[in-house]
Structure 1
Amino acid sequence: MINWRTRSLHHDSVNLRSAARVTALTVGSGTFAPVRQEVIDYTVSGRRIVWRWLNDRTIQPRNKRRTSTLDDITQAAWNRELTLEFLALLSVLTGCVLMYPEQDQVLTDVCSGPLIGQADLAAAGVLPVPESATRPVGAENWSTDVELVLSRS
């Protein structure tokens, strides 16, 4: 159930109500439910994705390094666009969580499979890497003697 009123998003307006592995995530006056606890806890490189997404959209984000004046542009209020974006994020993360068993099996298969060594790559003609493959496509037409001309308009 989603029920939003237009309000500013503050840190104290986010809370969780849990029942076993399914959670209701309340943001402001709205509630997203059901949301799996694994989705809320989903991390990439040690960053909690749901919390990071919500934090970055608060009026005063915590622990966000200011990199430019664009960082001062924030949402004044929660709107339909944010609701749809957040639902999309929850959907993608739910899909990732649901793929865990398959991902675990793929990792097991890869780790228990045969190793490919340098000799195998050389026998297959992959090694040594030709010099032409170490440059971008079309690089043979690039000149290293480039003159930079600056003009004022």
Structure 2
Amino acid sequence: MCGRDGAARCVAPVRAMPEKFSHVDEVLTVGEGQFAPVSAEVWGYEVSGLKVVQSWLAGRMLQRRGRTSSPLDALRPEAWSEALTAELLELLWVLERSLVLHRGQAEIFGQIVGGEVVSANELRAPSAEERAEPRTRCEPSSR
């Protein structure tokens, strides 16, 4: 497992295949199981408009929700397992770490944007060789 240093923990085990999930006050409830702390930032984490945690959970409920892309989507676990609990925790930990990295990236980006500006006139003009279109491997050399 990666990221064992994440904050989220399983505080009550998921005993049966869950039918629903929710997030209230940093507690993620999955069926009868609970995971905490799960920040609102982790819960709401999106990639290209897809809410990562909700999408992951929706595909693992008793009645699967969400889009299907192939017949393989019908192959699903019949019961919640320790492996699913471990996968969910790893997902939460990865998102926790991603948020920390995003904050660091935002700080660095702010420094870059706020830094010294170099005008195009201060840059050396490229040579004719540097301006030339690169040769491909299929083209014979011009020797």
Shorter-chain TM-score range? 0.7 to 0.9
1:109 alignment partner in structure 2: 111
1:97 is aligned to 2:66: no
Q: How many residues align?
A: 127
Relative contact order (alpha carbons < 8 A, sep ≥ 6): 1 or 2 greater? 2
* 38-47 vs 121-130, which moves further: 121-130
Residue 108 of structure 2: SS of its match in structure 1?
Answer: helix
2:135 to 117, 131, 139: 131
> Partners in 2 of 1:74 and 1:56 — Cα distance?
9
Contact map agreement 1:42 1:50 (CA 8 A) in 2: yes
Contact map agreement 1:58 1:74 (CA 8 A) in 2: no
2:18 alignment partner in structure 1: 9
**Map 1:63-102 → 2, pairs under 5 A:** 63-64=66-67, 66-102=68-104
Contact map agreement 1:15 1:27 (CA 8 A) in 2: yes
1:148 alignment partner in structure 2: none
Residue 54 of structure 1: SS of its match in structure 2?
Answer: helix
Deviation, 1:111, is 3.3
TM-score between both structures, scaled by the size of structure 2: 0.73
> Partners in 2 of 1:29 and 1:97 — Cα distance?
28
How has the CA–CA distance of structure 1 residues 120 and 56 changed in structure 2, closer, same or farther, with 3 Å as cutoff? farther
* 40-49 vs 97-106, which moves further: 97-106
User: Which amino acid in the other structure matches residue 63 of structure 1?
Assistant: G
How has the CA–CA distance of structure 1 residues 59 and 122 changed in structure 2, closer, same or farther, with 3 Å as cutoff? farther
What is the aligned-residue RMSD (CA, Å)? 2.8
Deviation, 1:61, is 2.8
Which 4+ stretches in 1 moved above 6 angstroms? none
> Partners in 1 of 2:18 and 2:60 — Cα distance?
7
How has the CA–CA distance of structure 1 residues 7 and 107 changed in structure 2, closer, same or farther, with 3 Å as cutoff? same
CA displacement, residues 64-105 of structure 1 (integer Å, 9 cap, x when unaligned)? 1x3322111112121111111111110010011123331112
The unaligned stretches of length 5 or more in structure 2 are 1-9, 139-143
